[in-house]
Amino acid sequence: DSGVTQTPKHLITATGQRVTLRCSPRSGDLSVYWYQQSLDQGLQFLIQYYNGEERAKGNILERFSAQQFPDLHSELNLSSLELGDSALYFCASSPYHRGEQYFGPGTRLTVT
Amino acid sequence: AQTVTQSQPEMSVQEAETVTLSCTYDTSESDYYLFWYKQPPSRQMILVIRQEAYKQQNATENRFSVNFQKAAKSFSLKISDSQLGDAAMYFCAYRISTQGGSEKLVFGKGTKLTVNP
């Protein structure tokens, strides 16, 4: 158990819908990262937050957004969902200046 | 751009034997971190081992060790005394960071390891 929690574990929704994925980092970790894992794209970095501020952005679609709240949990919002958004979405957190990232169990999103 | 290449899509090893997974990366940085992550069928991403580029000594964690060749930009993972529970997808990753505090991991495409009893 990495200490990073993600909810829900599974999500099945229809095209055009909007969903919210939730992540709680390890106790004391200020940085939160979101990654997408799909069969064709592999593991792709989406976005990083540090203590409530956006720090880095990857190939995140405009239909996707995220935020980190004062209690350090983070949410990833996916809207106008398409079939191609079906993937495993990971949240990770890291201790400051340590380098490594600890991953949550992931949320499997299926868009039908 | 930093890239990570894992040239072995699949590998297999006999239980109790040793196997080495290869990884090469491309960077112009002098100080960086490299990682190996394991993803078993449960899909959880588990950190196996980390290496800081400024450290010449190769990292070890129990049966897992790395061969870090900075000049060659090579970072291989050696698993000794392989166990059935080692069967998983293994990802090599490079950490990109900036002075402004942005960080991200760039992953290779992975190597699927099968352990035969």
For B4-44, write each residue's pLDDT tens digit: 999 999 999 999 999 999 999 998 888 889 999 999 999 99
The CA-CA-CA angle for residues B26, B29, B34, to 5°, reads: 65
Tally C-beta pairs within 8 A across A and B: 60
Task: Convert the pLDDT of each residue in A12-71 to its tens digit.
Answer: 999 999 999 999 999 999 999 999 999 888 899 999 999 999 999 998 999 999 999 999
The CA-CA-CA angle for residues B4, B91, A20, to 5°, reads: 100
With an 8 Å Cβ cutoff, are A99 and B33 in contact? yes
Which chain B residues contact residue A93 at CB under 8 A?
A: none
**Which chain B residue has its CA at the smallest distance from A41's CA?**
B109
Token pair, residue A28, equals 């004391």
Cα Rg of chain B, angstroms: 14
Which chain B residues contact residue A92 at CB under 8 A?
A: 45, 105
CA B13/CA B86 separation, integer angstroms:
10
